[in-house]
Structure 1
Amino acid sequence: MNSNTKSERSASSSTPELKSFFSILMAIQFFIYFGFSIVIPVIPALVKDMGLNAFHMGLLLSIYSIASFIAAPFWGQLSDKIGRKKILLIGLTGFAISFLTFGLFIDNLTMLYISRIIGGLFSGACFSTTTSIVADVTTSEERNRYMGLMGMMIGFGFIFGPAVGGLLAGYSYQLPYFVTSAILLAIIVAVAAKLPETHFHETGKQTGGRLNYTVPIIILLISTFIVTMTMSGMESSFQLLEIERIDITPMQMGILFMIGGLVNALLQGGFLRKVKHGQERGIMVLGQIVTMIAFVMLPFTINIYYAGICLVLLMSGNALVRTLLTSTLTKSTSSQNMGKLTGVSYSLDSLGRIIGPLLFTGLLSYSLSLPFFIGAGTSLIALILIALYFSKGKTA
C-alpha cells in the first residue's frame, strides 16, 4: 500500500479492500478502549471481595495509564523505523497477555499489578500505530472522516466496556478478561493475515528528517493534554458531586454515562467525519465553548435531568474537539515522524488520565463546586491555545 500515492489511495477509498482495511482498524480501536474500560466495574468489586484497602483500587486503575505514559513514545518512534504492522502485532499480543494474566491470577494482587502494567505498556503500541496507519493511508482532505470513525469506536468502547464487564463479572470476575483475550487473539490473526504494512523506513535516507517540536506542534500537544486531563477529572468527580446534590444512584450514573457516550460516538461517526479540511477551527472553538458552559452549569445541579444535560454537553464538547485535535496533529509532520508524534500524543493522553482524577478529586475536599469551575478555567486555556494555533495561519 505504501507504493501508491495518497491521492491514489483516496481515489480507491470506496473499494472493498479499503473498507475491509478500515474495518480491522476500527475493531482494534474499539477493543483497546473496551479493554481499558471493562475493568471499571470489576476492579472495585474485586478489591472489596479481597478485603483490600481502597487505595489498591485507585492504583490498579492508574498504574495502567502510568505505564502507557512511559512506553507510548518508544512504540511510536519504533514504528517509524521498523513498520506499523510489526509494532501493532507486538502491542496486540502484549495487550492480550495482560488480560489473560489478570484472569488467570485473579486472586494474586502482585500478578494483578503486573498484568495492569503489561496492559499499559503495550496499549501505547496499539494506539500510536492505528492512528499512524490512518495518517499513512489518507490525505489531509479525508483525514477528518476516518479519524471521526476511529473516534466513534473509542466512544463505543467506553460505552460497552463497563456494561459487558459488569454483566460478565456477575458470573465470574475472570470471565471478562478471558473473553477479551479471546477476541484480541482473533484480531491478531486478522491483522497478521489481512492488514498490509503502510510505512517503510528508508534506510540511509532521512525523508522526513527528525521530528522538530515547533511552536504549533507544542500548542497542539499541550491542548491534547489539557482536554484529556479536564475530561478525565470530570469523569472521576461527577458522581461524587451528584451524590451530594441529588443523591444519584449507581444505576442512574450508568444510564447518564451511557447516553453521553452514545452521543459522543454518534457525533464523531456522523457529524465529525463530514467536517472538511480547513473547517476544523470553528468546530473546535465551538466544542470548547460548549464544554466551558457545561462546567459552569454543573455545580448548580437541581435534578437528574439537569445533570444529564450537563453531562451530554460536556461529552459532546469533548467529542467535537478531541478527534479533530488528533487529526490536526497528524497533518503537522511527515510520515517518517508520524509514529513518534502519535506516541507522544498518546503519552500525554495517559498523563492527563493520571493527573485529572487526582486533581479534581483532591479539589473536592475543599469545595464541591471548585473542581468544575477549575474545569471551566482549563477549558478556557485550551480554547485560547486552539485559537492561537489557528491564528498563526494554520488551517489544520
Structure 2
Amino acid sequence: MIAFFKSNIFPILLVNFIGILGYSLVIPILIFIVTDFGGNGFIYGILGATYPLFQFIGAPILGRLSDRIGRKKVLIISQIGTFLAWSLFLLAFMLPEIQLWEQNNAVTGQYIMTLPLIIIFLARIFDGFTGGNISVANAYMSDISTDEDRNRNFGKMGASTSLGFVIGPAFSGLLASTLLGEILPLLLAALISLVAIFVINFRLKESVPCIVDTKGVSFKNIRRFFQVEHKDCYTEGSEETQLESGKGFKQVVKIKGVPVLYAIYFFTFFAFSLFYAGLPIYASRILDWSAIDLGVFLAYSSLIMILVQGPLLTVLSKRMPSQSLVIIGASLLALSFVLLSYKNLFVLYGANTLLSLGNGLMWPSFLAMLSGLGSKRTQGAIQGYGTSMGSFASMFGLIIGGMLFEKVDTMVFMFGAVIFFIIVVLMFFNQHNKTVPIRTLQPSS
C-alpha cells in the first residue's frame, strides 16, 4: 500500500479523483437548479451540451499545447479555469431572478430564461473551454505507462474516476438538504478545484521530456521564450512518428488505427449523453426521486465500476486483449440500455449493474488502445482530438436526448442500445485488422 502512494502514477490518479469529485458533486442537483431558475428538460439538455461544445474547441488546443510546454502546466491552466467557473456558478445564486424571455412551443416546451440561468451558461462555457484536463491527464498516463502495464494503469485511472463518482453524488444530496441548499455542494466543488491546483503544482512531476530550457534564450524567438518547442531528442522510427505535435487533425487521423477508435469515441459519448440527458428528467419527473435518490443511484454505479476497473480488470487484462474487453463491455452496455427503458426499480438497478460492469470493462481498455498509438510527441494531440470527438458527440447527444425524452419517454435509451451494438460490430471487424501500438521512438544519443 505504501509503495502505491509513492508510485509515479499516484499523483495523476489523485488529480483525476479530485477533479471528478468536484464535478460529480453537482450532477445530482443540476436538474433541480435548472428547474428552480425557470428552465425545463430542453434547457437542461442545452446546458449540458454547452460544456462539451466549448470543450470540443478547447481540448485539442490544450492537448497539443501539452505536447509542447508539458502536461503539468496545461493541467494547472485547466484547473484554474474550473475553479473560476465554479466561482461564476456561485454568483448566479446571488443575482435576482430577472426574467429575460419566456418560450412555450412543441419543440422546446415551456421555460423561462432568467439572469441566473444565463450566468450558469457562462460558467459552463468557461469551464468547457479550459476543460482539457481529461485529455491531458490521459496523455500523462500514456507518457508514464509501458505496453506491459498500460491496461492496468488505465484501469486504475478509471477506478479513481469512479471513486470520485461514488463519493460526490452520495454526498451531494445530503449537502443540498442543509440550510444552504444547492450552494453548499457548489462551494465544496470550488474548494476542491482550488485544492487540485496545489496538488498538481506540488505533487505532479512533468512527464514530457525535453521541454526546451529557456535560460539564455533570446527575446527574438518568442516561441522558445514561452517554452513551446521541443529539443530534438528522438530519432524517427516510422512514418507516423514523423508527425509533430503541432500538426492538426488531418495529420493525426493518418496514424494507423486512429480513425476507427475516434469513431468509437464518438459513438460511446453520444450513447452516454442520451443516458445523462434522460436519467435526471426520468428520475425527477416519472420516478419522483429526490437529489439523494439520484445520488445513491449514481454512487452505486460508480462503486461497481471501482470493483471492475480495479481487481477484475487487472486480472482480465492479463488474459484477454483490449479489443475483446471492449467488445464484451459494449455488449453489456447495449443490454443495460435496453433494460433502462423499463419503469421498474428492480430492473433499473439491474440495468445499472450491467451498465457499470460494461463501462468498467470497456472504457479503460479502449483508452489503453488509444494511448498505444502514436508517440509521446503526438499523444497530447491524439487525446485532445479524441476528447473533441467525445465533446462533439456529447453536445448533440445531450440536446437530442432531452428533446427525445420529451417525445418518446424512456424509449430514448433504446437508441443508446443500438449505438453500443454498432460499437460491437466496429470492434469485431477491427480485430481482424489489428492495430499495433506505435512505440518505435528511441532516445537519441
Q: Deviations over 1:105-131 (max 9, x none)?
A: 53343443322222112221x212211
C-alpha spacing 1:25/1:204, structure 2 compared with 1 (3 Å): closer
Alpha-carbon deviation of 1:229?
A: 1.5
Partners of 2:150 and 2:369 lie apart in 1 by 9
Q: Deviations over 1:173-201 (max 9, x none)?
A: 33323323333323322322232211035
Q: Could you tell me which residue of structure 1 aligns to residue 204 of structure 2?
A: 195
Task: For 1:94-113, list aligned pairs within 5 A.
Answer: 94-108=81-95, 109=116, 110-113=118-121
C-alpha spacing 1:177/1:296, structure 2 compared with 1 (3 Å): closer
Within the candidate set 426, 430, 445, 1:385 is matched to 426
**8 Å CA contact retained: 1:76, 1:340:** yes
Q: Could you tell me which residue of structure 2 aligns to residue 209 of structure 1?
A: 242
Task: For 1:355-374, list aligned pairs within 5 A.
Answer: 355-368=396-409, 370-374=411-415
Partners of 1:238 and 1:385 lie apart in 2 by 27
- Greater CA deviation, 48-57 or 324-333? 48-57
Q: Give the letter aligned to residue 283 of structure 1.
A: L
- Greater CA deviation, 176-185 or 214-223? 176-185
Normalized per residue, which structure has more helix?
A: 1
Partners of 2:61 and 2:25 lie apart in 1 by 26
Q: Deviations over 1:89-116 (max 9, x none)?
A: 1111221122223224533434433222
Partners of 2:400 and 2:232 lie apart in 1 by 46
C-alpha spacing 1:171/1:242, structure 2 compared with 1 (3 Å): closer
Q: Could you tell me which residue of structure 2 aligns to residue 232 of structure 1?
A: 273
Q: Give the letter aligned to residue 344 of structure 1.
A: Y
C-alpha spacing 1:353/1:273, structure 2 compared with 1 (3 Å): farther
Q: Deviations over 1:336-370 (max 9, x none)?
A: 00001111112222223222233334334453464
Gaps of 5+ in 2: 96-115, 212-229, 244-250, 438-445
**8 Å CA contact retained: 1:26, 1:153:** yes
Q: Give the letter aligned to residue 11 of structure 2.
A: I
Q: Secondary structure of the residue that 1:123 maps to in structure 2?
A: coil
C-alpha spacing 1:80/1:319, structure 2 compared with 1 (3 Å): same
How many aligned positions are there? 380
Q: Could you tell me which residue of structure 1 aligns to residue 289 of structure 2?
A: 249
Q: Could you tell me which residue of structure 1 aligns to residue 351 of structure 2?
A: 310
Alpha-carbon deviation of 1:227?
A: 1.3
C-alpha spacing 1:297/1:334, structure 2 compared with 1 (3 Å): same
Q: Could you tell me which residue of structure 1 aligns to residue 364 of structure 2?
A: 323
Within the candidate set 379, 382, 392, 1:351 is matched to 392
TM-score (normalizing by structure 1): 0.85
Task: For 1:96-245, list aligned pairs within 5 A.
Answer: 96-108=83-95, 109=116, 110-124=118-132, 126-169=133-176, 170-172=178-180, 173-200=182-209, 201=211, 202-203=230-231, 208-210=241-243, 211-214=251-254, 216-238=257-279
Partners of 2:119 and 2:53 lie apart in 1 by 17
C-alpha spacing 1:17/1:370, structure 2 compared with 1 (3 Å): closer
Q: Secondary structure of the residue that 1:140 maps to in structure 2?
A: coil
Partners of 1:36 and 1:17 lie apart in 2 by 24
Within the candidate set 73, 90, 100, 2:77 is matched to 90
Bigger CA radius of gyration: 2
Partners of 2:252 and 2:359 lie apart in 1 by 28
Q: Give the letter aligned to residue 16 of structure 2.
A: Q
Alpha-carbon deviation of 1:390?
A: 2.1
Asked whether 1:284 is paired with 2:326, we answer yes
Partners of 1:315 and 1:395 lie apart in 2 by 29
Partners of 2:137 and 2:330 lie apart in 1 by 26
Alpha-carbon deviation of 1:395?
A: 5.8
Partners of 2:372 and 2:87 lie apart in 1 by 37
**8 Å CA contact retained: 1:60, 1:113:** yes
Partners of 2:319 and 2:398 lie apart in 1 by 34
C-alpha spacing 1:226/1:311, structure 2 compared with 1 (3 Å): same
Asked whether 1:294 is paired with 2:336, we answer yes
Within the candidate set 302, 305, 323, 1:261 is matched to 302
Alpha-carbon deviation of 1:244?
A: 8.9
**8 Å CA contact retained: 1:142, 1:276:** no
Q: Secondary structure of the residue that 2:207 maps to in structure 1?
A: coil
Q: Secondary structure of the residue that 1:367 maps to in structure 2?
A: helix
Q: Deviations over 1:355-394 (max 9, x none)?
A: 2233334334453464233222211111111122221123
Alpha-carbon deviation of 1:225?
A: 1.4
Q: Secondary structure of the residue that 2:257 maps to in structure 1?
A: helix
Q: Deviations over 1:195-214 (max 9, x none)?
A: 22110353357753225414
Partners of 2:62 and 2:271 lie apart in 1 by 26
Partners of 2:388 and 2:206 lie apart in 1 by 24
Partners of 2:350 and 2:60 lie apart in 1 by 37
C-alpha spacing 1:106/1:216, structure 2 compared with 1 (3 Å): same
Q: Deviations over 1:233-286 (max 9, x none)?
A: 1233246567898x4634554433322221122211222233138621222111
C-alpha spacing 1:194/1:40, structure 2 compared with 1 (3 Å): closer
Q: Deviations over 1:142-189 (max 9, x none)?
A: 011111111112122223323333333333233323323333323322
TM-score (normalizing by structure 2): 0.77
Q: Give the letter aligned to residue 184 of structure 1.
A: S
**8 Å CA contact retained: 1:237, 1:361:** yes
Alpha-carbon deviation of 1:288?
A: 1.6
